[in-house]
Amino acid sequence: MSAPTMEERKACWAARDEFWRCLDRHTEDAQRCEKLRRSFESLCPQQWVKHFDKRRDFLKYKEKLETEGFHPPETAGKH
């Protein structure tokens, strides 16, 4: 597989950004973004989709830490 062209990369990033904006708008109902998800998956190489999914999870986790702070889980065996 050859590397995506500049146009293909731009189309991939645009599809990713549109999908992520939809997820941000519909946090409680991600199903509403399914068509955009399929577009994102069809325009981006599979490895990129995996990377971007992990990146979004990380960015959302980081945002939560920055706004809510770190709260370690309560452990059952704590003394």
Residue 51's nearest CA partner among 11, 12, 22, 10 is 12
Chain segment 7-31, per-residue pLDDT in tens: 999 999 999 999 999 999 998 898 9
Q: What is the pLDDT of residue 12?
A: 97
Q: What is the pLDDT of residue 51?
A: 97
* Degrees to nearest 5, angle at CA 12 with 51 and 8: 120
Across the chain, which distance is largest between two alpha carbons, in Å? 58
* 71 vs 50, residue with greater confidence: 50
Q: What is the pTM of this model?
A: 0.80
Contact 75, 40 (CB under 8 A): no
